[in-house]
Structure 1
Amino acid sequence: MSVATAPLKLTFPIVGAQWLAAHLTAPNLIVLDASVGDFAGASEGIPGARAFDIDGQFSASQGVHTMLSAPEFEDRARALGINKDSALVVYDRQGMFSAARGWFMFVAMGFDNVAVLDGGLPAWVEAGYQQLPLDRGPFVPGSFLAEDREIFVDALTTKAMAGHDSAQVIDARSAERFAGKAPEPRPGLRAGHIPGSVNLPFTSLLDERGRFRQPDEVKKAVDEVADGKELLIFTCGSGVTACVDALAAYVSGCQQIAVYDGSWAEYGAEDPAGVRPVER
């Protein structure tokens, strides 16, 4: 690893393991481990990384990933030692799964100096770099400032925009779940998808190593489902992998993106009043 001494200004939201290793000593760099589920809570990872708890500390509800208010997010980011001039690189232990959710949360809070590690921890290990215990703090409180860009949207907005002339709702779940042919992993959810939405499984954007495919392949996949629409709203099971699709759209040049917070975990729940219709 080389020694970087100048503050970083990230110009692209995806970085590779070699780039991160070369800049790991930059004075304003903070690496965040945004692993979820069975992958969360591990003791070792990229040297100096701090745990970014999407399941708990940085979620407004348990079981469904729900964005915090701007003041809450600001307070918790500051508690992690994140400053307004920090450069953030987010990774997860699966490769490319929940790190994009971390990226999108910061972007939603008005912070753009943030990127995702392509391939996550597996790419770091494959490149031959060491793992060390995560930095658990305590941290010097940071100066992070949050400003809500309102790019997390709710069920009613998503339902209204599905099939709209100027918007496209894009579902990142598997084709089988989208079609209602495979059971949902969360109990009690209906099968199917939001009427008028289209499907772009997040796994279709990744190669066999869990890294993004070539930029032209990613852009082609996004463009095919975007169908020239101005606003793209992404949804998935609980608001995590929707952000992989959102990141792909962002790097493909899409200007207006949003994520349905709560996603199918909310929309697919029992609906006696019939306000959230399902299509199969």
Structure 2
Amino acid sequence: MDALVTTEWLAGELGASDLRIVDATYFANFPGEAPRDAAAEYEAAHIPGAVFMNLGELRDTDSDLPMMLPTAEKFASRMQSLGLGDGSRIVLYDNSPHRTAARAWWMLRTFGAHDVAILDGGLAKWQAEGRETASGKETLRHRHFTVWADSKTVRTLDQMKANVDSGAEQVVDARSPSRFTGEEPDPRPATHAGHIPGSKNLRYDALLNADGTWKRGDELKAAFEGAGVDLDRPIVTTCGSGITASVLAFGLHLLGKDSALYDGSWSEWGADRSTPKAMGARETVDG
């Protein structure tokens, strides 16, 4: 199974015994935004057979940070309860402006699942094509999900601090240019504006076409290179909370490039008084 699958392909695979479809829609619902309920939207309309992965709860709930990875044991338990297990082919989709299926993809890969794909265009494309949807909840029989984690793709605060000095890994920030430069304040309380010194800015939706499908090949490569990213050097992605950083990570995967992700992202770095913060497109550093 390819990492990116089409609506036509998925329609032809519906009902396959090893296929698991997952709605991974999540809304941050920052102050000033019209609130949306991902679970309610899933129950109103989803791709037939899809289960709902609640990313808002699939995190380290003991952390003050919004979206830190849960323990491997917690993740495996949640996957088993959704009917996702060893040997499953998992197709993820969402209906979020933040393309949150990419976060679910990154988490599944981090915790040992390998046959995982994203539906190109998500639920919006599926519905635009007039394809069937279901309502209510779906339940699948529990399947064993092996507890395993690969920390090589995850970066911590201390590792990111060390990288500011070493420059060993390029840091690519998926937030908007105005958030990156500090022109726009961070929506989280007590969080400094700006970005990690030395990082580059590539807004996540630059990897997508106007219809929500993914850019591919040279066009996708050009998006990274246009942001000053050297695709032959190590890369760490970051954003506000680790959600849209996963979009960049998936885009790199489509180009055959491995990357790491700073899970705490700006919600951690920007609130930590010990970290330097850069402002503007041409950097001035505070701290």
Report the TM-score, using the length of structure 1 for normalisation.
Answer: 0.88
Whether the aligned pair in 2 keeps the contact of 1:98 and 1:240 (CA below 8 Å) is yes
User: What CA distance in whole angstroms lies between the structure 2 residues aligned with 1:98 and 1:134?
Assistant: 21
Within the candidate set 265, 268, 272, 1:266 is matched to 268
User: What CA distance in whole angstroms lies between the structure 2 residues aligned with 1:134 and 1:53?
Assistant: 15
Whether the aligned pair in 2 keeps the contact of 1:80 and 1:141 (CA below 8 Å) is yes
Q: Structure 1 residues 60 and 276, CA, compared in 2 at 3 Å: closer, same or farther?
A: same
Q: Structure 1 residues 134 and 265, CA, compared in 2 at 3 Å: closer, same or farther?
A: farther
Within the candidate set 4, 7, 15, 1:25 is matched to 15
Q: Is it true that 1:59 corresponds to 2:59 in the alignment?
A: yes
User: What CA distance in whole angstroms lies between the structure 2 residues aligned with 1:210 and 1:54?
Assistant: 21
Q: Is it true that 1:246 corresponds to 2:221 in the alignment?
A: no
Q: Is it true that 1:16 corresponds to 2:16 in the alignment?
A: no
Shift of 1:147: 1.8
Which position in structure 1 is the counterpart of 2:200? 198
Which position in structure 2 is the counterpart of 1:236? 239
More moved, 141-150 vs 84-93: 141-150
User: What CA distance in whole angstroms lies between the structure 2 residues aligned with 1:69 and 1:240?
Assistant: 17
Shift of 1:277: 1.2
Which digits, 9 at most, give the CA deviation of each residue in 1:80-126, with x for residues without a partner? 11120000011111366100000000111121100111111101111
Which position in structure 1 is the counterpart of 2:127? 125
Which position in structure 2 is the counterpart of 1:168? 170
Which position in structure 2 is the counterpart of 1:6? none
Whether the aligned pair in 2 keeps the contact of 1:94 and 1:122 (CA below 8 Å) is no
Whether the aligned pair in 2 keeps the contact of 1:91 and 1:99 (CA below 8 Å) is yes
Whether the aligned pair in 2 keeps the contact of 1:31 and 1:49 (CA below 8 Å) is yes
Which digits, 9 at most, give the CA deviation of each residue in 1:133-154, with x for residues without a partner? 25342x4221111321111221
Unaligned runs of 5+ in 2: 28-35, 280-287
Shift of 1:165: 4.6
RMSD of aligned alpha carbons: 1.8
The code of the aligned residue for 1:230 comes to R
Unaligned runs of 5+ in 1: 1-9
User: What CA distance in whole angstroms lies between the structure 2 residues aligned with 1:34 and 1:214?
Assistant: 22
Shift of 1:192: 0.2
Which position in structure 1 is the counterpart of 2:33? none
The code of the aligned residue for 1:219 comes to K
SS of the aligned residue for 1:226 comes to coil
The code of the aligned residue for 1:171 comes to D
User: Where in structure 2 are the equivalents of 1:61-140 lying within 5 Å?
Assistant: 61=61, 64-94=66-96, 97-137=99-139, 139-140=140-141
Within the candidate set 38, 41, 47, 1:40 is matched to 38
Whether the aligned pair in 1 keeps the contact of 2:84 and 2:145 (CA below 8 Å) is yes
User: Where in structure 2 are the equivalents of 1:183-222 lying within 5 Å?
Assistant: 183-222=185-224
Shift of 1:228: 4.5
User: What CA distance in whole angstroms lies between the structure 2 residues aligned with 1:250 and 1:184?
Assistant: 29
The code of the aligned residue for 1:213 comes to K
Size of the alignment, in residue pairs?
Answer: 264
More moved, 65-74 vs 168-177: 65-74
Whether the aligned pair in 2 keeps the contact of 1:46 and 1:134 (CA below 8 Å) is no
Report the TM-score, using the length of structure 2 for normalisation.
Answer: 0.86
The code of the aligned residue for 1:141 comes to H
Shift of 1:63: 6.3
The code of the aligned residue for 2:262 comes to Y
Whether the aligned pair in 1 keeps the contact of 2:191 and 2:270 (CA below 8 Å) is yes
User: What CA distance in whole angstroms lies between the structure 1 residues aligned with 2:80 and 2:106?
Assistant: 17
